[in-house]
Amino acid sequence: MCGTLLFAQSNVSDVDQSGTSNDADVFQQGAGNDSDVDQYGAVPTNPNSGELNDADVYQLGDLNEATVKQAGDRNLGDIYQEGNRNRASIDQGVNFAEDNIAYANQLGNRNRSNQIQRFDNNFADTDQDGNRNRGRQYQSSGPNQSAGNDAYLTQLGNRNYSNQDQVGNDNFTDVNQTGNDNESRVFQVGINNSSNVDQLGNLNESYVSQTGDDNVDDTDQTGDSNYASTIQDGNLNDSTTLQLGNSNSSMVDQNGFSHLSNVFQDGDLNMSTVNQTGNTHVSDVDQIGNSNSSIVTQND
């Protein structure tokens, strides 16, 4: 095992390692920074059970906090923070967890990042540039080299919030927020689900929940104070929501097999509701202008 510590006045660093060939690099410049790195094996009572874990912490500024906890083999945790009062936490592995990777990059002040990954082959990346942004990524796959999940988060601006939860295998989520006070929540349970969320503007809110296999969501919000909700329960469902303007509202609920929904809103104060239950229903809603309202209900 090896560890490298560099610190300036009033900084604190704590590195605990058990196992073989674990690596930790900590660099802190400023005052009042705090770093905690724990690397241990599949069974904490066995000092030789964890191998080749890698943790890197780099902090510039004052009163930043970084925590990396890794259990198992070949996990990588990387935290970069530049600014003041930022907090980042990486918690990877359980039992014989392997090959998880997490990156957290924060520029600005008072940003928060929390990444939790369980079992094998998960990948998480958080990039925040601004102040008071918050990001949470939770992923759980399975043991014995199961296919992992991928989560990406980019926040540019202030006071944005994102939560990404994925349980299963081969799930993918990508959230991009540019502006202020945007909020995104993504929940995916199953196999090979995909969600892409892009928010450009201020005070936009997006909610995505997908349960089952091979579901796809694409949500794009450009403007201010838009709301989009997508709930898909089943397999092979596909939803696309595009909002251009301000104060638009879209709600899509698909339950069953192989539904398709497209919602396009261009203007202000438009409202769309789509409910599809059963199999292979198709809905296409286009709203151009202001204060339009649409309700689509299709059942077997």
- The answer to whether residues 61 and 55 touch, using CB atoms and an 8 Å cutoff, is no
Q: Is residue 143 part of a domain?
A: no
Output 221 or 69, whichever has higher pLDDT. Answer: 221
Which CA distances in Å does 239 have to 190, 212, 286, 287? 17, 14, 14, 16
Q: To the nearest whole percent, how much of the chain has pLDDT over 70?
A: 91
pLDDT band (50, 70, 90) for residue 96: low
Say how far apart CA 260 and CA 11 lie, in whole Å.
Answer: 54
Q: Is residue 14 part of a domain?
A: no
For residue 204, give both structure tokens.
Answer: 């936009």
pLDDT band (50, 70, 90) for residue 23: confident
Exposure string of 171-184, with b = 16+ CB inside 10 Å and e = fewer, is bbbbbbbbbbbbbb
pLDDT band (50, 70, 90) for residue 52: confident
Give Cβ neighbours of residue 280 (< 8 Å, ≥ 6 apart): 257, 258, 259
**pLDDT given for residue 272 in this prediction:** 99
Residue 150 CB-half CA count within 13 A: 10
- Beta-bridged to residue 95, according to DSSP, are none
**pLDDT given for residue 46 in this prediction:** 44
Say how far apart CA 124 and CA 102 lie, in whole Å.
Answer: 5
Model confidence at 243: pLDDT above 80:
yes
Average pLDDT over every residue of 170-192? 98
**pLDDT given for residue 42 in this prediction:** 46
Summary mean pLDDT of the chain: 90
Which CA distances in Å does 136 have to 59, 112, 142? 20, 8, 20
Q: Is residue 45 part of a domain?
A: no
Model confidence at 282: pLDDT above 90:
yes
Average pLDDT over every residue of 212-221? 99
The SS3 assignment for 90 reads: strand
Q: Is residue 98 part of a domain?
A: no
**pLDDT given for residue 10 in this prediction:** 85
Say how far apart CA 239 and CA 198 lie, in whole Å.
Answer: 14
**pLDDT given for residue 244 in this prediction:** 98
Q: Is residue 155 part of a domain?
A: no
CB atoms within 10 A of CB 282: 12
91 phi-psi bin (left φ>0, alpha ψ -120 to 50, beta other): beta
Q: Is residue 275 part of a domain?
A: yes
Tens digit of pLDDT for each residue in 111-145? Answer: 999 999 998 899 999 999 999 999 999 999 987 77
Q: What are phi and psi of 85, to 5 degrees?
A: 60, 30
pTM, 2 dp: 0.90
Candidate from 3-7, 9-13, 181-185, 250-254 with smallest mean pLDDT: 3-7
Q: Is residue 203 part of a domain?
A: yes
**pLDDT given for residue 55 in this prediction:** 86
- The answer to whether residues 148 and 121 touch, using CB atoms and an 8 Å cutoff, is yes
Model confidence at 39: pLDDT above 60:
yes
81 phi-psi bin (left φ>0, alpha ψ -120 to 50, beta other): beta
Longest dimension (CA), the chain: 69
Burial of 271 (0-12, 13-18, 19+ CB in 10 A): middle
Q: Is residue 269 part of a domain?
A: yes
Give Cβ neighbours of residue 62 (< 8 Å, ≥ 6 apart): 30, 31, 32, 33, 84, 85
Say how far apart CA 221 and CA 223 lie, in whole Å.
Answer: 6
The parent domain of residue 215 ranges over: 183-300
Looking at the structure of the chain, the number of domains it has is 1
pLDDT band (50, 70, 90) for residue 203: very high
